[in-house]
Amino acid sequence: MSRKCDICGKGTIAGNSVPRKGLPKKKGGAGQHIGVKSKRVFKPNLVKIKAIVDGTPKSMKICTRCLKSNKVQKA
């Protein structure tokens, strides 16, 4: 199974990791220096549960957002 929510389809997303050095000017510093950006991966918060689908219990991976909003009924 892939790292994807079975209800909403939320999956991994690529982005940048941005290192910041120095105190910002707003806090009385000389300003922040942004270093070299490197790629990173944002992973969804998935949980493996048994849910009732078409009257039968089925094991599935869903994100905690779908679980909290009652989009699926736990078995």
Question: pLDDT tens digit string along 4-34?
Answer: 999 999 999 999 999 999 999 999 999 999 9
Which tokens belong to 17? 């990791």
pLDDT digits (tens, 9 = 90+) for 21-73: 999 999 999 999 999 999 999 999 999 999 998 999 999 999 999 999 999 99
d(CA 41, CA 17): 9
d(CA 52, CA 42): 29
Confirm if 72 and 17 have CB atoms less than 8 A apart.
no
Q: Domain ranges in the chain?
A: 13-68
Confirm if 72 and 62 have CB atoms less than 8 A apart.
yes
Sign of the Cα torsion 62, 63, 66, 67 reads: positive
